[in-house]
Structure 1
Amino acid sequence: MSKLYFYYSAMNAGKTTTLLQSAYNYHERGMRTRILTPMLDNRAGEGVVASRIGLKAEGLRFDRDDDLLALVDADIAVAGKLDCVLVDEAQFLTRAQVWQLTDVVDKRDIPVLAYGLRTDFRGELFEGSQYLLAWADNLDEIKTICHTGRKATMVVRV
């Protein structure tokens, strides 16, 4: 039975690196993945998911109005069986898109691994993160350290 996973952390903790490593692990075993990336994130180029350490892969861009279940179904129709969906910058998902990812898991039996920030710099939840925290089957914090050497927190105190 497939699950929806939400991996969250502070900025610069290696979320995208972890996503790309997961995709590599699937590919190494002869399995096919699809990486989804929000259209508004074009730091590495349109449709490119890249980590600060130089790893990169092509991603399928989505917009706030896109139906992610329909995108996954279209991908399967074109390229065949899909073994895993990975979502970069998952904090930018809408409530509806998180629900669509639960359908990818429940109706298509495809695991979904979503990576993103939990909160913004004020400690406020992002929409996508809010619903991933509520509906994901597994929640996992990717830990990192701040410049003080202590565990980085996701809230800036003013």
Structure 2
Amino acid sequence: MAKLYFYYASMNAGKSSTLLQADFNYRERGMRTMLWTAQLDTRSEGRVKSRIGLEADAHRYAPDTDLWTAVTAAHRAEPIDCVLIDEAQFLTRQQVWQCARLADEAGLPVVCYGLRTDFQGELFPGSAALLGIADKLVELKGVCHCGRKATMNLRVDASGAAVKEGAQTEVGGNDRYVALCRKHFSEALGHTR
């Protein structure tokens, strides 16, 4: 029975490289995958890219993309063995339910990779829906500068100072975000205990 998976972590924990390794494993065995990434992430240019240099072509989804229709049409044309979605925090709630339907009705495993929380410690809508309905949740481990598990994503400005307010989504990499443990995240934002 196919399942809906959610692999989540802080920034720089290896989500994209784990996705690309899974893609390689399927393809090495002669199986066909379908990769997706968020259109919102303009850095990717239609590719899943990892910090360690691995990358692969991917379809791009926007908030209005009907994943059920797109994937089932491709699956009818040439059978797909697994759907892999990067930047899954940007999925809408409806798209997460479409992913569940792909697993439940089309019999396709759907493996999503994304951030759990934003720069203020709030759940992304796509992540919240995945945490609620995925068959399997897997936390990938990132590391804070202190050696503890990094679970938070601190947004920083050009000088490296913590950003406390702003839009939930701002695309960026190491220049805009730092993965931290909760203690150092709270200290950086000046949260009192």
Question: Which TM class, normalised by the smaller chain length?
Answer: over 0.9
Deviation at 1:42, TM superposition (A): 2.3
Q: Does 1:29 pair with 2:35?
A: no
Secondary structure at 1:91 match in 2 = helix
Deviation at 1:77, TM superposition (A): 3.3
Q: Which residue does 2:140 correspond to in 1?
A: 142
Find the aligned partners of 1:75 and 1:61 in 2 and give their Cα distance: 14
Q: Describe the superposition over 1:9-65 as per-residue Cα deviations: whole angstroms up to 9, x where unpaired.
A: 000000000000000000011100000111111213x21111010000000011101
Could you tell which deviates more after superposition, 127-136 or 141-150?
141-150
Q: Which residue does 1:10 correspond to in 2?
A: 10
Q: Which residue does 2:103 correspond to in 1?
A: 105
1:5-154 alignment, distance < 5 Å: 5-44=5-44, 46-78=45-77, 80-154=78-152
Find the aligned partners of 1:91 and 1:151 in 2 and give their Cα distance: 20
5+ residue gaps, structure 1, are none
TM-score under structure 2 normalisation? 0.79
Q: Is 1:13–1:144's contact at 8 Å kept on the other side of the alignment?
A: yes
Q: Is 1:42–1:48's contact at 8 Å kept on the other side of the alignment?
A: no
Secondary structure at 1:101 match in 2 = helix
Deviation at 1:73, TM superposition (A): 1.3
Aligned-pair Cα RMSD in Å? 0.9
Q: Is 1:20–1:56's contact at 8 Å kept on the other side of the alignment?
A: yes
| Displacement over 4 Å in runs of 4+ | none
Identity %: 58
Secondary structure at 2:145 match in 1 = coil
* Higher gyration radius (CA): 2
Find the aligned partners of 2:43 and 2:131 in 1 and give their Cα distance: 26
Q: Return the letter of the residue paired with 2:58.
A: G
Aligned length: 156
Q: Describe the superposition over 1:90-142 as per-residue Cα deviations: whole angstroms up to 9, x where unpaired.
A: 00000000000001000100000000000001110000000000000000100
Find the aligned partners of 1:139 and 1:76 in 2 and give their Cα distance: 25
Find the aligned partners of 1:93 and 1:52 in 2 and give their Cα distance: 22
